[in-house]
Amino acid sequence: MAEAMADSYNGDSEPTTRTLLRRVLDTADTRTPRRRRSARVGAQKALLETPSSRRLSSPTKMNVRRHSHRVRSIGRLAHVHTSGNVEEQTPRTLLKNILLTAPESSIMRPESVVKPVPTPQVVQSSRRDSSRGSLELQLPELEPPTTLALGLLAPGRRKQRLRLSVFQQGMDQGLPLSQEPRGNASASSLTSSLNLTFATPLQPQSVQRPGLARRPPTRRAVDVGAFLQDLRDTSLALASPGDSLRTPVATLPADTVLEDTQPFSQPLVGRSPSGYHSLTCLSHTEVEDAERAVSLRTQSSGPRLQNHNPGKPAELLAGKAKKVDAHAVSFPNNSSAISGEDGVEPLQDGVDEEAEERMEESLSVSEVMDTTGTQGSVRTEKSKRHREMSEAVEAKEPEGSSGDEDISGRRASPELASSTTEFLQARQPQFLEPALPPSTAVLSSEPLEPLPTRLPPRARTPGPRPRQDPHKTGLSHYVKLFSFYAKMPMEKKALEMVEKCLDKYFQHLCDDLEVFAAHAGRKTVKPEDLELLMRRQGLVNDQVSLHVLVERYLPLEYRQLLIPCAFSGNSVFPAQ
């Protein structure tokens, strides 16, 4: 006791836990509950029991630290215990022994002290596991095995696993350091849950069953450069089959891919370059179609577009019939791919479905026109160059050669990772004429177009181009429903007809709703107006009510929104 007191006074420069413990030992009552331990295998067992007893006596963090101290210095303590009073293994005596033997240290222990310790711990902790089965003792032994397990896992897995293993290794490396003060503190079950929360989930599982370890989701920040590189690689790899068509165009697919920032468009990337190839092939056709196409594009009136659309596909069909033979098979796929690639559209899934279904040329052609036009207009927003080009194109709209110039200018500058290239190409696929235009200078003057600028989210302007495309994709939903209800194969012209009918139907619908709302003195169209409309159409009558129709045709979620239903608590949803 004297030496303990001396030690406490000597090292009492600051009130450490050690000194506090000593004071407690010195001042507290010596009578302690005797614990008869019949089986005393050795110091280790005694030490095993002392933590439990100590826990009961004084559940503090410093006790926990003592535990770790004990753990570490178990070898040293062994002889102490054997020499000491084996009969009286009171908490007090054990604490004193620890104070005597445990090295002085601060909470923040340097790494060097920890490293040599884990090795002897492995043996002892294994024994402890069997006897105590607590998690905190597993920690020291887990460190080496976890790193081993991670090392084994890392090479055999994908990049994600590697990163995870790196993460886990970093965690482990961080853990021994932080464990030291805290891991010791967590030796007692009272504090283990608090301190080990972020350690235990990772390690115990991975040690015992590496395959079942729960891996935190790895989230990688999008590496723009890597992404672009991957795009280039894939596009170039995919563009190789299409290279036979046209070498200068070979670079265009890369550009196309680069510009396409739609998250889901990557699978379609492979098809799009070849699609553009086919587009350029087909562009060798008429110029009058191009003129019409240009006029179509620049005109923003809906009806005109609608009128032109049925006419245009027919003309395009006629024109393309000559040259499409070689590309007939691939073109619908590609055009559908392109239309599917139109990532700008929110209804992309509808577009994709449409792309799968619509192998017909006319529709695919019209879609291609629309989608490419949309793409072009979308990219127009991205960069001034696009706008310039579009202006230049539109300025020269009446001349069919304008697009040719642009196209040729594009080819002249193969390094231009420019969306306008595809934009123009897509917009005027019929344009040809490899004549060097004055616009080439404009084109070459702005080859910059830094790639990252394409990746930022696209802002969509409500121009005539996007108005047609999402309109088409929205209509396609109902056209698909039509083909489903018809249960018979349909011609492409018939589907176009259905689209026209749907357009007219929507117009009539809006007019009627306006009339009904105005009749009721409202400016908002309410469900009552809709009911009146359906009544007028003969769908709703005295036998069949609106609710019946709602239940029959709409899915449950919509039904719940439309039909008021009583819920508990005297509440009705939707409120009436």
Show contacts with another protein in window 499-518 (CB under 8 A).
Answer: 501-502, 504-514, 517
Candidate segments 144-152, 193-201, 375-383, 535-543, binder of another protein by CB under 8 A: 535-543
The closest alpha carbon to 292, from 263, 313, 273, belongs to: 313
Assign residue 538 a region: left if phi > 0, alpha if psi is -120 to 50, beta otherwise?
Answer: left
β-strand 571-573 against 565-567: which pairing, if any? antiparallel
Of 104 and 356, nearer to another protein (C-beta) is: 356
Please, what is the minimum distance in Å from the beta carbon of residue 557 to another protein? 6
Using the minimum distance from each CB to another protein, give the nearer residue, 12 or 503: 503
Site for another protein in 321-360 (CB under 8 A): 346-347, 350, 353, 356-357
Applying the rule CB under 8 A, the residues between 439 and 478 that interact with another protein are 467, 470-471, 473-474, 477-478
For another protein, the closer of residues 212 and 556 by Cβ is 556
**Least CB distance to another protein at residue 293 (A):** 23
Rule CB under 8 A: is residue 314 a binding residue for another protein?
A: no
Supply 461's token pair.
Answer: 């302007």
The interface mask with another protein, positions 483-502, x = CB under 8 A, is: xxxxxxxxx-xx-xxx--xx
- Residue 247 CB-density burial (10 A; 0-12 exposed, 13-18 middle, 19+ buried): exposed
Q: Which 8-state DSSP code applies to residue 414?
A: T
Beta strand residue intervals within 326-473, DSSP E: none
Q: Between 265 and 304, how does the x/- string for binding to another protein read (CB under 8 A)? A: -------------------------------------x--
Q: Identify which of residues 117 and 554 has a Cβ nearer to another protein in the complex.
A: 554
Q: Total residues at the site for another protein (CB under 8 A)?
A: 71
- Shortest Cβ distance from residue 502 to another protein (Å)? 8
CB 566, min distance to another protein, A: 17
Which among 70, 39, 36 is positioned nearest to 55, based on CA atoms? Answer: 70
**Measured from the CB atom, is 71 or 498 closer to another protein?**
498
- Candidate list 147, 162, 482, 535; residue touching another protein; CB under 8 A: 482
Contact in structure between 187 and 51 (CB atoms under 8 Å) = yes
Give 84's DSSP letter: S
CB of 344 to another protein, least distance (A): 14
Task: Judge contact between 249 and 280, C-beta under 8 A.
Answer: yes
Tell me the window of 43-51, 116-124, 375-383, 523-531 that interacts with another protein (CB under 8 A): 523-531
CB of 467: closest distance to another protein in angstroms?
7
Q: What angle do CA 288, 290, 292 make, to 5 degrees?
A: 75
Q: With binding defined as CB under 8 A, does residue 226 bind another protein?
A: no
- Quickly tell me which residue has 């090479």 as its tokens: 155
CA distances from 467 to 313, 377, 378 (A): 18, 11, 12
Give whichever of 78 and 550 is closer to another protein, judged by the CB atom: 550
C-alpha 209/C-alpha 203 separation (Å) is: 10
Nearest to 341 by CA among 309, 378, 305: 378
- The dihedral through the CA atoms of 61, 63, 67, 72 has a sign that is positive
Q: Alpha-carbon distance 337 to 540, whole Å?
A: 42
Using CB under 8 A as the binding rule, whether residue 264 contacts another protein is answered as no
How would DSSP label each residue in 333-356?
HHHHHHHHH-TT-TTHHHHHHHHH
- Closest to another protein by CB, 37 vs 477, is 477
User: Which positions from 61 through 120 interact with another protein, judged by CB under 8 A?
Assistant: none
Work out how close the CB of 493 gets to another protein at its nearest, in angstroms, rounded to a whole number. Answer: 4
- Closer of 384 and 536 to another protein (Cβ): 536
> Exposed, middle or buried, 415 (CB in 10 Å: 0-12/13-18/19+)?
exposed
> What is the closest distance, in whole angstroms, from the C-beta atom of residue 442 to another protein in the complex?
34
Helix, strand or coil, per DSSP, at residue 573: strand
56 vs 561, beta carbon nearer another protein: 561
**Smallest distance from another protein to CB 549, Å:** 6
**Residue 167 interacts with another protein (CB under 8 A)?**
no
**CA-CA distance, 476 to 459, in Å (whole number)?**
24
Give which of 424, 427, 463 is closest to 300, Cα–Cα: 463
Q: How far is the CB of 573 from another protein (least distance, A)?
A: 12
Out of 526, 545, 565, 572, the only residue in the binding site for another protein (CB under 8 A) is 526
